[in-house]
C-alpha cells in the first residue's frame, strides 16, 4: 500500500477479533516502526509486547483496579483545555455514542472498561521511556508511535492507541516486572478488526487547516 493511501485510510479500531497475530508479523511491524526519527538517533522508546493469555491476565488486573480507583478516560478535572479542542472531543463522542448503544453499552462503560481490555485485541504494545530522559524526548516516542500504527496498517493489522492505560502504569509495571525507572507513555492495541462491531463503522473528522496552521511568508 502506498504510504499516503495508508495515512488516509487508517483509522482507530475499537473492537478486535481474538484471531492471534504471529510474532513474526509483530516483529516486522516493530522493525519498521523503529525507522522513526529521533534526536541524535537515541531511539529512546522501549516496548513490551503483550500477547494472548498474558494480555488477558493483564486486562483482568486493570479492570479490577478500575473498579477500585475509577481512573477514567478524559482530560481530568484539574486541566482546563481550550474550548476549540473540547468541541472536537465532544463531536467524536457524539458520533460514537449511537454505535456503542447499538452494541448494548454506553460510552462511559465502553471506552473505560473495553479500553482497559484493549478492545479485545490479541496483542498490545506498551510503550515506555526511561525516566532519565527529559520531557522533550516524548516527541521521539510520539514519532515512533505514529510510525507503529502506520507500519501495522501496512502489514494488514488494525490498531488503536489507548492513553487511559497509562493511568494504571503502577499495576502494569508490577504485573510485568517492569522497573520503576520506566515511564509509560502509551499503549497500542493490535489485531484484526471485528467487522460485525458497530463501533468500527466510526471514523472521526479532522480539523480544517485554517484551525491549526498559520502561514508565514
Whether 79 shows a pLDDT value over 90: the answer reads no
Q: What is the mean pLDDT of residues 70-74?
A: 80
Query: How do residues 158-180 score in pLDDT, each as one tens digit?
Result: 999 999 999 999 999 999 999 99
How does the average pLDDT of the chain come out, rounded? 95
Give the integer Cα–Cα distance in Å for 117 and 55.
Answer: 9
Containing 183, the helix (H) or strand (E) segment is strand 182-191
Q: Is residue 150 situated within a structural domain?
A: yes
Which of 186 and 77 is assigned the larger pLDDT?
186
Strand partners, 186: 127
Inter-CA distances, 217 with 57, 134, 208, 211, 212, Å: 55, 33, 20, 18, 16
Cα–Cα distance between 202 and 210 in angstroms, integer?
A: 24
**Partners of 12 in the β-ladder:** 159
Per the structure, the complete domain to which residue 11 belongs is given by 3-69+82-203
Residue 74 lies in a domain: no
The pTM assigned to this predicted structure is: 0.95
CATH number of the domain that residue 46 is part of: 3.40.109.10
Taking the C-alpha atoms of residue 212 and residue 13, their distance in angstroms, rounded to an integer, is: 25
Is residue 217 domain-resident? no
Question: What percent of the chain is modeled with pLDDT above 90?
Answer: 93
- Do the Cβ atoms of 128 and 46 come closer than 8 Å? yes
Alpha carbon 87 to chain centroid distance? 21
Amino acid at each position: 500500500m502506498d504510504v499516503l493511501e495508508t495515512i488516509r485510510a487508517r483509522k482507530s479500531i475499537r473492537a478486535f477479533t481474538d484471531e492471534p497475530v504471529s510474532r513474526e508479523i509483530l516483529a516486522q511491524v516493530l522493525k519498521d516502526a523503529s525507522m522513526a526519527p529521533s534526536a541524535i538517533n537515541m531511539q529512546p522508546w522501549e516496548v513490551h509486547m503483550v500477547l494472548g493469555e498474558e494480555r488477558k491476565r493483564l486486562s483482568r488486573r486493570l479492570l479490577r483496579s478500575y473498579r477500585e480507583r475509577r481512573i477514567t478516560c478524559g482530560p481530568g478535572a484539574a486541566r482546563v483545555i481550550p474550548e476549540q479542542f473540547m468541541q472536537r472531543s465532544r463531536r467524536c463522542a457524539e458520533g460514537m455514542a449511537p454505535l456503542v448503544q447499538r452494541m448494548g453499552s454506553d460510552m462511559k462503560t465502553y471506552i473505560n472498561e473495553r479500553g482497559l481490555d484493549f478492545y479485545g485485541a490479541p496483542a498490545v504494545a506498551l510503550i515506555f521511556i526511561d525516566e532519565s530522559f527529559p520531557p522533550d524526548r516524548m516527541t521521539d516516542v510520539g514519532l515512533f508511535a505514529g510510525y507503529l500504527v502506520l507500519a501495522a496498517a501496512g502489514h494488514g493489522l488494525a490498531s488503536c492507541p489507548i492513553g487511559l492505560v497509562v493511568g494504571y502504569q503502577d499495576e502494569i509495571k508490577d504485573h510485568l516486572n517492569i522497573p520503576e525507572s520506566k515511564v509509560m507513555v502509551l499503549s497500542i492495541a493490535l489485531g484484526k478488526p471485528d467487522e460485525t462491531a458497530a463501533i468500527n463503522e466510526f471514523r472521526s473528522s479532522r480539523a480544517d487547516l485554517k484551525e491549526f496552521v498559520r502561514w508565514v511568508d
